[in-house]
Amino acid sequence: MSTTGKKWLTGCGIGCGLFLLVLAGLGTFGYFAVRDVVDKAKDIDAGRAAVDSVFGEPTDFTPSATGVVPGRRVEVFLDIREDMAPWREQMDELLTTLDGKGPGGVLGKIRAGIKFVPTIMSFINTRDQTMVASGMGLGEYHYLYCLTYYGLLDKDPADGPGFSLIDENAPQNEGVRVKTRFAHKDSVSVRDRRRRTLERMINRVQREILANQLAALQTDSLQTTELAGWRDSLAAEVEAMNRNPLRLPWQDGLPDRISDSLAPYRDRLEPLYDPLTSGLEMGLTGKD
């Protein structure tokens, strides 16, 4: 079995208990369902290898040294968001059901639980294929998501369903992993834990990306008076993120050169944000 397949099926950080428990009682169907998940895991391995071969690791990404976000890159980001909308809608429906707000009662939850893991895996595979086809790596996507939704539109990393979806106890070097034990807890506690987990993952990726940007800004051709203030601001932000592992990039406010370049896209970005799946999407843009 592939490495990804092992991660998804043996404890896998997604708490596959419900998924495998249900399949165990379904005989031949269960066998084919598990085999389908394993096949999807192999597809994920191949898809992630394809993304990495073209773009490198997410932390290899270097934004424009001047801080201005090129409009053509925002357009690509928007295209990817639009292409992935049907998959977000599928996950949204499953999460709503598992949250006890959809139709079907207990049986509906069991059906949603069976579909949940394969749907996430299909989402990852489709996303990776879309990334390669669109010419955008996970690092750039992660960077633009943070700037647009957490920076420009002030969305909350704590957004998500009323139960804990992310495995907060996963080792940091294994990224953010999801689970399928859908026990409801105090909503404030769930949101606080989700926020901390995602902030830690986002910081780990973004502080390296901003450090790449700062290094690019240090080249002789960019040692201009015009960029001096921006250079100081970026250096201070990198230092602040290094000091505070829960700090989001530019969480005190986007610099004008970033916000001005993103402002024309505000109305197109807003409807492509899904609060139910946001945390899951960001968790899956680090190391899956």
Question: How would DSSP label each residue in 55-116?
Answer: H--GGG----TT-PPPHHHHHHHHHHHHHTHHHHHHHHHHHHHHTT-STTHHHHHHHHHHHH
Q: What does the pLDDT read at residue 12?
A: 37
In this prediction, residues 239-243 reach a mean pLDDT of 98
Q: What does the pLDDT read at residue 114?
A: 74
230 domain-assigned: yes
The structure tokens 């960029």 sit at 227
| Gyration radius of the chain's alpha carbons | 20
In this prediction, residues 247-258 reach a mean pLDDT of 96
pLDDT band at 65 (very low <50, low <70, confident <90, very high): very high
Structure tokens given for 94: 């499953």
Q: What does the pLDDT read at residue 220?
A: 62
288 domain-assigned: no
CA distances from 41 to 19, 122, 212, 246, 256 (A): 15, 9, 31, 31, 42
% of the chain at pLDDT higher than 70: 71
Q: What does the pLDDT read at residue 36?
A: 57
Within the chain, strands assigned E span: none
77 domain-assigned: yes
- What are residue 178's DSSP bridge partners? 166
> What is the total count of domains within the chain?
1
* Other residues' Cβ atoms within 10 Å of the Cβ of residue 279: 25
Residue 207: give the domain boundaries: 3-283
Each residue's pLDDT tens digit, 37-57: 556 666 666 667 777 778 888
Query: Does an H or E element contain 251, and which?
Result: none
pLDDT band at 273 (very low <50, low <70, confident <90, very high): very high
Residue 172 pLDDT exceeds 70:
no
Residue 237 pLDDT exceeds 50:
yes
The residue among 277 and 207 whose pLDDT is bigger is: 207
